[in-house]
Structure 1
Amino acid sequence: MASLAGSAAVAILLSAWVLGFTTRPLRRFAAAANRLGVDMSAPSLDESGPREVRLAASAFNTMQRRLKAFVEDRTRMLAAVSHDLRTPLTRLRLRAEFIDDDAVREKMLEDLAEMEAMIGSTLAFARDQANEEPMQAIDLNAMLGKVAEDMRDAGRPVGLTPAPQPLPVMGRRMGLRRAFCNLLDNAVKYGGTAELGLSRGAETVTVTIDDHGPGIPEAEFDNVFRPFYRLEASRSRDTGGTGLGLSVANDIIRGHGGEIRLSNRPGGGLRVTVTLPVGEG
């Protein structure tokens, strides 16, 4: 019996070792895929091990390089086109000044001003995409507290209910700051005020932004994240919006492995819920 038990124990240990050895590359691939979804510049996979594992790691690294080159090329093209459009817009503005009809001239100048604002927003977005800001540990409690304070100093009514404990996330500080500033600007512009709420779960950090505006029809929840999409009822030339703020915020949050959801509050107004993975801290 002792010999049989010893043989069984050895067999179990050997099976566990073989299982771990064969599944370790799969765990590495899963971790690399998760990193790629958050950071396109993540380190390449180590191309070592059995022949099949080396081939798979090489194919994954090649895919990562191609994806990074594709995104960089499209970003450069977007920035170049936006920059080149400024010259003909300047010429059009100068020519519009010579139109005798005051009403026509004002409408043309308004259209040109809107186009210039859209181009400026596109260039800012392209610069942010090209920025190689490193990932770092961030306390979202402290960062959003400073954002809310800065916005109140600028005359924007933004309230904050912080979490009772630090909210650590891994991210790019300037990118996250811009995303939340865009969301708060949107809430204040169309809802009058913004109320920030922060909480922490087991694996995610949650930020809610509530306003007191008219809300958004549920059928438009996905559309408002499209670039340059504006709701006719609330986003006009008079507000100065370009329709890019929510799209930029959504791209930044997704680039950090997070998600943005919209919902209409029962008491009126819109709620924006942002979830991000808990980081080290």
Structure 2
Amino acid sequence: MLTSVLVVAAWVLQRWTQPLTYFAAAAERLGTDIHSPPLSENGPLEVRTAAKAFNRMQDRVRRLVEDRIALAAAIAHDLGTPITRLRLRAEEIGDAEIREPILQDLQQMRRMVSATLGFARLDFTAEPTEMLDVMSLVQRVADDLSDAGAEVAVNGPKRLPVRSKPVAVQRALTNIVENAVKYGNRARINVTERAGGVEITVDDEGPGIPEALQAEIFEPFRRLPHSTGEATEGTGLGLTVARSLIRGLGGDITVANRAAGGLRVTISLPSFGETHLREWAAQIS
């Protein structure tokens, strides 16, 4: 009798807790893909009510993100016209000492607007996850930069397969390694397998960054002074984009000064598991 009661109790408990597992999986998936399919609104009344609320929330989040992306893209696009007019007028200035600094500032503004437009259009959520060899991807990034004259070394296992989004990972890593080469002369990439994913460190031989300023390097358009005391060139969006991509993949990026000198950027990248939300209806119906 007791055994029968326990079996029934276990079945009831499993039936009522299983939906929580799929709610948790759906929430995790929403964090990396705002276009993920809605939950099936089947099952007991309480589950249907919760699923409907979750789907409404997901739709609001999606529309909010899309509206903000569209607004940022529109602003960046509209700024291009007045910048062009200013450049044409500046080119008519006869005094080169006045004209050239103005043209340089306008060129920098154009680069920033172009970078902002690209950032606003960044949509890593549309890329499907797939199995990829991290080592091959890292080596490809290193080879591309080496072909351009950079000094990049790679260390890690021969193969390291994970499930992720290759285009997003490659773009983030490229931004980070380019930054290391630009400000730290050369880059050393080390790849290590971790539980549930992979860790990639990028070391440079530059001056490092004061600890109080390290969080600022991820802020949009933030360009820290170089060792000369002058602001470095660039739009200040490379690391912002990299962190957005990696966080969108469920990982993170941190920075720290190395004891031997230079800066270390650490990428923690999880391996996506398969979220079978299609089983939702079968489990709770």
Q: Could you state the TM-score of these two structures normalised by the residue count of structure 1?
A: 0.92
Q: CA separation in 2, counterparts of 1:51 and 1:183?
A: 49
1:163 matched residue in structure 2: 157
Could you tell me which runs of 5 or more consecutive residues in structure 1 were left unpaired when the two chains were aligned: 1-6
2:262 is aligned to 269
Question: Compared with structure 1, are the counterparts of its residues 177 and 235 closer, same or farther at alpha carbon in structure 2 (3 Å cutoff)?
Answer: farther
Say whether 1:74 aligns with 2:107: no
1:59 alignment partner, one of 53, 57, 66: 53
1:258 to 251, 257, 266: 251
- For residue 218 of structure 2, what is the aligned residue in structure 1? 225
- Aligned match of 2:283: none
Say if 1:236 and 1:180 are closer, same or farther in 2 by CA, change over 3 A: farther
Residue 184 of structure 2 is matched in structure 1 by: 191
Aligned partners of 2:34 and 2:62 also within 8 Å: yes
TM-superposed deviation, 1:280: 5.9
Q: Is the 8 A contact 1:169 1:276 kept in 2?
A: no
Deviations 1:112-166 (A, max 9, x none): 1110110111122223228732222222111111111111111111110122442
- Name the structure, 1 or 2, with higher relative contact order (CA <8 Å, separation 6+): 2
Deviations 1:235-256 (A, max 9, x none): 9988531100000001000110
- 1:245 is aligned to 2:214: no
2:177 aligned with 1:201, yes or no? no
CA contact (8 A) 1:187 1:211 kept: yes
Which range moved further: 20-29 or 95-104? 95-104
Relative distance call for 1:159 and 1:280 in structure 2 (3 A) is: farther
Change (3 A) 1:235 1:85: farther
Once the 2 structures are TM-superposed, how far is the Cα of residue 11 of structure 1 from its aligned partner?
Answer: 1.7
Provide the aligned C-alpha RMSD in A.
2.0
User: Structure 2 CA distance, aligned partners of 1:79 and 1:267?
Assistant: 42
Question: Which residue does the alignment assign to 1:115?
Answer: 109
Secondary structure of the residue aligned to 1:222 is helix
Native 8 Å contact 1:167 1:200 kept in 2: no
Whether 1:47 aligns to 2:8 is: no
Q: Distance in 1 between matches of 2:245 and 2:176?
A: 12
CA deviation after TM superposition for structure 1 residue 201, in Å? 1.5
Q: How many residues align?
A: 274
SS of 1:169's equivalent in the other structure is strand
Q: Distance in 1 between matches of 2:236 and 2:228?
A: 8
Q: Does 1:178 align with 2:171?
A: yes
SS at match of 1:248: helix
Q: What per-residue deviation string (whole Å, max 9, x for no partner) do you get for residues 63-84 of structure 1?
A: 1111111111111111111111
Cα displacement string for residues 93-126 of structure 1 (whole angstroms, at most 9, x for unaligned residues): 1111122332222221111111011011112222
Matched letter for residue 77 of structure 2: H
The structural deviation recorded for 1:53 is: 1.0
Q: Secondary structure at the match of 1:210?
A: strand
Task: Tell me which amino acid in the other structure corresponds to 2:102.
Answer: M
